[in-house]
Amino acid sequence: MKYLKAIVLLLLLSACSPILVNYDYDNKIDFTTYKTYNYSPDRDTGLSELDEDRLLDAIDSIMTLKGLKLSNTPDFFINVKSGEYQNNQQSAVGVGLGGTGRNIGGGLSIGLPIGALVNRQITIDFIDQTKNKLFWQAISKSSYSPKASPEKRDSKFKAIAKKTLSKYPPKQKQ
């Protein structure tokens, strides 16, 4: 029973793959001047219409919590791009030889890939509307299940938005 619990726990932990995020920003920008935003009118997110709505709704809720307002005359535009990629599965062949006393034994093992993992990269750019200049960017990478239910997709996009926007605005040295 103890082993069964350990296996179930391990499976749950492996199912909750992390969301990895890289951030970059212009350290000469005063982020307190940005109060309003909107989405780039010529954005091409690379997401389905439903997934795009899920992600933008998640971004809106985080931006509202940060005190920023969606506006028709924004201080900056948000541009979202995404793409899918598969991790390369690496097959391996291992050969071993060993023994004890007079007995010698050998072994051969072969690693076979069991399905490729699909991942999604989402890039969120903040572009100053008046200068038409990128001032903040976050790139997230996470697992993606094309067969996920709408509820799981919604949950995943909320988690991505929360993690991705957690470092905005960046803490700047005074």
Residues 126-149: tens digit of each pLDDT: 999 899 999 999 999 999 888 899
Domains of the chain: 18-86+115-167 (3.30.160.670)
Measured CA to CA, the distance from residue 59 to residue 77 in angstroms comes to: 13
- Has this prediction a pTM greater than 0.95? no
- Residue 10's pLDDT is 42
pLDDT digits (tens, 9 = 90+) for 71-124: 999 999 999 999 987 765 555 666 666 666 667 766 656 665 555 568 999 999
Give dist(CA 122, CA 83) in Å, integer: 7
CA-to-CA separations, 106 to 93, 100, 103, 117, 151, in angstroms, rounded:
14, 12, 10, 33, 50
CB atoms closer than 10 angstroms to residue 74: 20
Nearest 5 degrees, angle CA 120-CA 123-CA 126? Answer: 160
